[in-house]
Amino acid sequence: MTSPSSAVEPLTRAERLSPGARVAVVAPSGPVPEERLAAGLDILRGWGLEPVVAPHVLDAHPTLGHLAGADRARARDLTEAWCDPSVSAVLCARGGFGAQRMVDLVDWTAIRAAGPKAFVGYSDVTALHEAFAVRAGFATLHGPMVAAGTFLSDPRTQESLRATLFEPETVLTLGLETARPLVPGRARGVTLGGCASLLATDIGTPHGRPSARGGLLLLEDVGEEPYRLDRILTHLLRSDWLDGVAAIGLGSWEECGPYEEVRALLVDRLGGLGVPVVEEMGFGHSATALTMPLGVTAALDADTGTLTLDAPALR
């Protein structure tokens, strides 16, 4: 497990999947449209997987419409799915809002005891990626969610996740053709990251990661206008959370305003760190969302726009 004073360290990887594996689908955040969930489950079945939908995935919170059911129910679904020995992986149905409300209700002692499994999600699920890293010491996958529009519509997004789950040695080098240097250079470290807003909000919480020191930080976000992104990135800087970061890879900034404005802000806030920064790598809330392993050792090369893993994401 990561200790409060340590730099980012490699985490324990899960085993790859085989045809016939049972995979649990949970909804830790927002409500899930039933028809989109059904379409995503069909894709998983087409891969030879046996998806099992957790009991509260289609719940709706009685008073707060942005949540998929009660906090304790969502946390219980995640705990029970993880601790089920017949389940090989846990996939999130969607993001939205609410993971931070339930993360402290998850039984992290039981999850550590159950051992690592492939865990997939992004967006609001960033709060859970951080919890799996800090509280359990498990590597996870920043990847598309079962009922997300990108997963349902984009073959390249689907193939990136499928290959990572079944044939991880075939996806050791990651990055779309759009990737290019914001700040040139190359660095090595351990991957971490997700939604910038969720990472900033985690700072100062009892189990928040104290620093990104030594890490290859993968950042993206959605629906945050430039002035709000300015506030988020400035908070990461003022809290010293970015001190010692090895390099930064940037994904999508969907609905964050004109990209020229976002890009100028990224240069202003991140360019002075003196580390390589690569933009538009193709992960997060984008038309194609590559699956990016978190908690693994890799090299980020801004000049070639690639993240190259030292070993497959899954064993």
Catalytic sites, residue numbers = 123, 220, 285
Amino acid at 259: Y
Spatial distance between the Cα atoms of 177 and 175, rounded to a whole number of angstroms: 7
Tokens of 214: 């030594």
Burial readout 297-314 (b: 16 or more C-beta within 10 A, e: otherwise) = bbbbbbeebbbebeebbb
Is residue 57 within 8 A of residue 84, CB to CB? The reply is: no
Number of H helices and E strands in the chain, helices first, is: 10, 14
Strands (E), 27-75: 50-53
Q: State how far Cα 289 lies from the chain centre.
A: 11
Separation between Cα atoms, residue 202 and residue 216, nearest integer Å: 18
DSSP percent split of the chain into helix, strand, coil, nearest 5: 35, 25, 45
Instruction: Give how far Cα 204 sits from Cα of 4, 102, 184, 207, 212, Å.
Output: 12, 17, 32, 8, 14
The DSSP bridge partners found for residue 185 are: none
HSE-CB at 249 with a 13 A cutoff on CA atoms is 38
The helix (H) or strand (E) run that includes residue 149 is helix 149-153
Please name every residue paired with 253 in a beta bridge, in sequence order, or none if there are none.
Answer: 221
